[in-house]
Chain A
């Protein structure tokens, strides 16, 4: 496996694992408080929709001329990557709350408890919540799999990495039967953000007509550069937060 293929598989695996963890939390909350069959039906329907979207969009993407494909795909990956990286930087610096799967699970359980209890047949609430969670989290996965796969001419490898991530999360989740709160989601999002930005910058610039010095050999340098910029921004944000934090109150005077 080449370095580019390894990076592709790693990026897709991590991105899919993060999205799968988030979707799993919602499905588990609904399945454990309402009708599990309806939660699974909603999950299955969303997965079917995602499969149709992949089948429809995949050939359309791969049929684009290579430069147009790289421009569109690079631009999309860069936009997604910047969103992921921005959130990860703010979370790492303490400027934004960390994604807390246990708290999200508790909130979903509380919201489900406020709904009327499910009757016989399909629990429409549980179906809709699970469908929406899986479809929304999965849509980003579909875009990442298709864009990475189409650009590297290896949709199979990207799809295999995505399937491996979903199976790993599912296996882990079923083993612990609890939200996967200890998965280092923010670190994973940080890494994925860096990789998406690096690949997006590389392909986007190539699609716009630029030539990279050394061709694909410049990709690792681009990954390192973006990682260093992101880490520097975390330090900057931490320092900025420390500078505006209120100074500790002076100790009360006890003497005259």
Chain B
């Protein structure tokens, strides 16, 4: 069972879990902004590249 869950995790989340978190955060913030009556289309295109930049920086640092 743990092997199956690990496989699903690897399949969906991949090498860097923070990117999956970025997606949840971006879409959650979008929904909150919409609920507050704000234009929210720009939230994901701003949040997601920032997390991608952070992920690339971490990958470069981990190479030493």
Please list the residues of chain A having a beta carbon within 8 angstroms of any beta carbon in chain B.
Answer: 71, 74-76, 78-79, 82-83, 85-87, 89-90, 95-96, 139-140, 197, 200-201, 204-205, 207-213, 218, 222, 225-226, 229, 233, 236-237, 240-241
Contact = CB atoms under 8 A, between A and B. Distances in A.
A204 B23 contact: yes
Given A89-B56, A210-B39, 14 more contacts: A75-B23, A79-B14, A82-B19, A82-B55, A83-B14, A86-B52, A95-B59, A204-B27, A205-B44, A208-B27, A209-B35, A218-B41, A226-B45, A237-B56
Given A82-B52, A95-B63, A233-B56, A139 B19 contact: no
Given A95-B63, A205-B41, A205-B44, A86 B22 contact: no
- Among A86, A210, A241, the most chain B Cβ lie within 10 Å of the Cβ of A210
A79 B49 CA distance: 12
Given A204-B23, A204-B27, A237-B60, A86 B15 contact: yes
Contacts, number: 104
Contacts of B55: 82, 86
Interface of B: 11-16, 19-20, 22-24, 26-28, 30-31, 33-35, 39-41, 43-45, 48-49, 51-53, 55-57, 59-60, 63
- Among A86, A95, A233, A240, the most chain B Cβ lie within 10 Å of the Cβ of A86
A200 B11 CA distance: 17
